[in-house]
Structure 1
Amino acid sequence: MASSTYAAGLILAGALLSSPAPLLAQSAPSSPNGTCGAGTIPGPGGGCMYIPQGGGQAPQIPAYRDTAWTDNYTSFAWFTNKQGKADYVYSTYNIYPNIADDFAMQRCRQTGASDCEIGPRYTNAYIAVARSAEGKVNTGYGNKSKEAKEAALAFCATRGNKCKVEKLVNGSAWKYYTN
């Protein structure tokens, strides 16, 4: 009997030692005064997390040292819609100009239009689309949304009446972090 108890103890100890301990367990509740209780550490979002078992470390958020910018290309494609009116589609958040053009044309073809034509392409700008009462579509751009709207309305006024901004596209450059 003693040897079977000893063997069962060895099996249980072996199972406990060989099982990998989780790096982080479930989220622990925070105490009413906002501090973390015993066996917990502050976690994301103001909650608490259990301290990792088995010598593990809590995950660290990497410290980003540098930032960089990449160009953002926005392309428009013009077409005549099923009601016979001038219309447009656009593609933004593209890092290559040819891809922006290709996606805009692809989106245009998906409308079923047969007269798709690549329109203007903008780099790192806000773009506003204004339509006149006569149905003409006009674009304008700027470093800020207000500048883009003003430019689109000014251009539209040279081609039609009662212009209204119907779309604002944020085509600003992308900021990303490097290590």
Structure 2
Amino acid sequence: MTKRDSGKRERLVAAAVNLAYRNGFTSTSLADIAKESGVPLGNVYYYFKTRDDIAAAIIDHHRQAFDEFRARMVEVPSAKARLVSFINMTVANAGEVARHGSPSGSLCAELLKSETTGRDAVRPLLADPMGWMAEQFAEMGHGDDAGALALQLQASLQGASLLAQNAGDPDVLTREGARLKMWVNGL
């Protein structure tokens, strides 16, 4: 793939990620992706043969974003600070979350209802961060409870994201984020 081809594919993926987040994956057409990316519709089929290919690219984008976050966290000196950084990352997007929901959570909820599109591939979008959280809780000395604590943190963030979206109020997520940071710091 040439550099020019790579740029088109990146624009298509970015457009697909943004449209699927704003409008939902099932409501996003190939024509929408082409228009948003500035890539001719006929070229979309060169990069993505099926809607499943587009779903896979969106899922891969989200997984790469978490992998990049996890790589940055290696520099953070304590597990507690890493968990707080994860909460801060989520809360930093409270305005968007109040409008469109959790990027990963909304995609998971939508694709898990699908019979074919990305159903199994989407599961790690919430499971991988939870596994990472469990590692942090274990490092903090909560080995026996690490999985349960990770579940509590992920459930609280995803639940607050859904409630913020439902209320159209970013403050819902901001307040829950503050409470979760106090909770983590108190462990």
Bin the TM-score by the shorter chain.
under 0.3
Query: Which structure carries more strand by proportion?
Result: 1
Q: Which has the larger radius of gyration?
A: 1
Query: Which structure carries more helix by proportion?
Result: 2
